[in-house]
Amino acid sequence: MTTLLAWTRRLSAGLGLALLAGCASLPAGHQGDPRDPWERYNRAVFEFNTQVDEAVIKPVAQGYKNYVPEPVRTAFGNFFSNLGDIVNTLHHLLQGEPSKAGNAATRVVINTTIGVLGLGDPAGSMGYAKTNEDFGQTFGRWGSEPGPYFVLPLLGPSTVRDTVGRVADFTTDPFQQIFTVGSTTEWSLRATRIVDARAGLLDMESTLDALSFDRYLSVRDAYLARRAQQVNDGRLPAPQQSSAAPAQFTQRW
């Protein structure tokens, strides 16, 4: 507990310093974007998140990818994806999409049984496509506007709507019902889920850096375009921006 408190204090101090430094100025030649009225704050938090990622999360993800066999990593990814399909079923129902809800529920049944507690994904090979839904999308489906772009400490890109959605997402996370809250098992699996997701982004970083004159703008523009597509079930084309990052990279960072 003492170590955790010390680490939390260091993170808080680092975030405070990043905000003080980052709120001082914007890049030369900067042009404001009405979607991002809090850009000074957002850039500071983005830089803080990048530093934490480079110092802690990325090295752990690289070790995970290098030393954990691919079949094991795939099984972990499938397990977390199967838990997500439980929530996807709920969101498709809330969005008035019974057919998609049935597809997600079928994935849960098949992958939990034939796929051995979700470690495999036989449902995918049987034609039941994977979807990814959350409360931010559900709110948007019923007309809620995204509001200003907002970078969350450690969690990354968001908007006001998606930030509220994240709180609701946490309350419906299957981890809350399956594992004892605050238990070693719960925290271990949450940490593994973060590392597994981060490891999946490692190969995209060279592409992101090659395309980006300003990584902050690349991640922001790609995130907002991706969320617009998700809310509209892919019906809106992503804006063609020379600085756009690979869409998957924006999911966490």
Pair (225, 247) in one structural domain: yes
Q: Which residue has the tokens 């968001």?
A: 158
Beta-strand pair 156-159/149-152: antiparallel
| Residue 29 confidence (pLDDT) | 66
- Distance (Å, whole) CA 103 – CA 221: 31
In the listed set 133, 154, 169, which residue is the last one of a domain according to the structure?
Answer: 133
Q: Is residue 253 part of a domain?
A: yes
Domain count, the chain: 2
In the listed set 82, 99, 133, which residue is the last one of a domain according to the structure?
Answer: 133
Reported as a single tens digit per residue, the pLDDT across 155-165 is: 999 999 999 99
| Residue 163 confidence (pLDDT) | 96
Pair (116, 73) in one structural domain: yes
Q: Is residue 164 part of a domain?
A: yes
Whether 204 contacts 129, CB under 8 Å? no
CB atoms within 10 A of CB 189: 18
CB atoms within 10 A of CB 119: 17
Q: Is residue 59 part of a domain?
A: no
Q: Please enumerate in sequence order all residues whose Cβ is within 8 A of that of 101, keeping only pairs 6 or more positions apart, or say none.
A: 89, 90, 92, 93
Pair (154, 238) in one structural domain: yes
Pair (162, 122) in one structural domain: no
How far is it between the farthest Cα atoms of the chain? Answer: 57
| Residue 81 confidence (pLDDT) | 95
Pair (126, 224) in one structural domain: no
Q: What is the mean pLDDT of the chain?
A: 84
User: Which range of residues forms the domain containing residue 117?
Assistant: 67-133
Pair (129, 146) in one structural domain: no
CA count, 13 A, side-chain hemisphere, 130:
14
Torsion angles phi and psi, residue 65, rounded to 5: -70, -35
| Residue 215 confidence (pLDDT) | 87
| Residue 220 confidence (pLDDT) | 93
Pair (156, 251) in one structural domain: yes
Model pTM score: 0.80
Q: Residues in the chain with pLDDT < 70?
A: 1-25, 28-29, 206, 208-212, 234-253
